[in-house]
Structure 1
Amino acid sequence: MFLLTGAQEPDVKFINVDQATLSYQILIFHMWSKKVRHDFYWSLGSSVAFQAMVSIATIGLYIAYALPIFFRVTLARKSFIPGPFNLGRYGILVGWIAVLWVATISVLFSLPVSYPITNETLYYTPVAVGCLFILVITSWIFSARHWFRGPITNIDA
């Protein structure tokens, strides 16, 4: 079944009904997801809270990627055995660039998103990331360093 589009001319364009149905479904999904995003956005109390939550998640993800790189270019520089895929002599340089990039992004994502800073616009990202950092370091010092031995090697070099 087809829908007619355009004027009655010799090259009349037809659209497959399945395509029209798909376009309609995409439109409905977009309107629904916009409503869900709007409700979620305001359920946190303010736009500042939503942006802080997104920044905290992003900073956490970046730090999770950067820590192994940082330990590779510092503590394990001499003892690390490269695998079959490595960057050769550029590995340390690329590692330091990655660590510096994550440090820069973490600072930028910790900056306030609105000025002037008032009680309603106070940005809690640095506080949340700092508290989590203190909690993780404390956990490592008092507990995890005694039982955690690192990943088990399953590839012969």
Structure 2
Amino acid sequence: MNLGVTITSAVLVLLVIAPVALIQQQQKKKERKILKSLKALASKYNCTLTEYEVFKNFAIGLDEKNNNLFFYKKNSLKEISQHVDLNKIKSCGILNSKKANNKSKQDNIARLQLILNPLDNIKHEQTIEIYNQTDDFQLNGELDVIHKWEHLIQNSLK
């Protein structure tokens, strides 16, 4: 009787743990692929990432020696690669676009972007879209990431 309960328990535990482990493994594989693409973008500009972060569907990195910022984002519809020479940027800020929500009477964040203002006022600002409600559905730590990278970029601009 105890052997039957033990075997049944082991099978049930495997049925619960196996899908979770597979999902985590797939997410790690996806993150490695995104990081590889970000590093390839940096090497294209003869840079080496000294600071980087990989998040669900994007990666952002900084070459502190050459003062360059790199961003790579991939979702089912598009792939975005961006390079910014921070030597040509005077300031960095966050654009938090909100959308009214009539049900909860609170505004929902629709888009989070890093805005990079150039030294030359003739050129347009550059934007790096960290989160878009239509692509990403729900916020999951992007606010922390964008604040961290705004701070890192501001320190690089000094």
Instruction: Give TM-score, length-normalised by structure 1.
Output: 0.30
Q: Compare relative contact order (CA 8 Å, sep 6+) and give the higher one, 1 or 2.
A: 1
Which structure has the highest strand share of the two?
2
Instruction: Give TM-score, length-normalised by structure 2.
Output: 0.30
Greater Rg, structure 1 or structure 2? 1
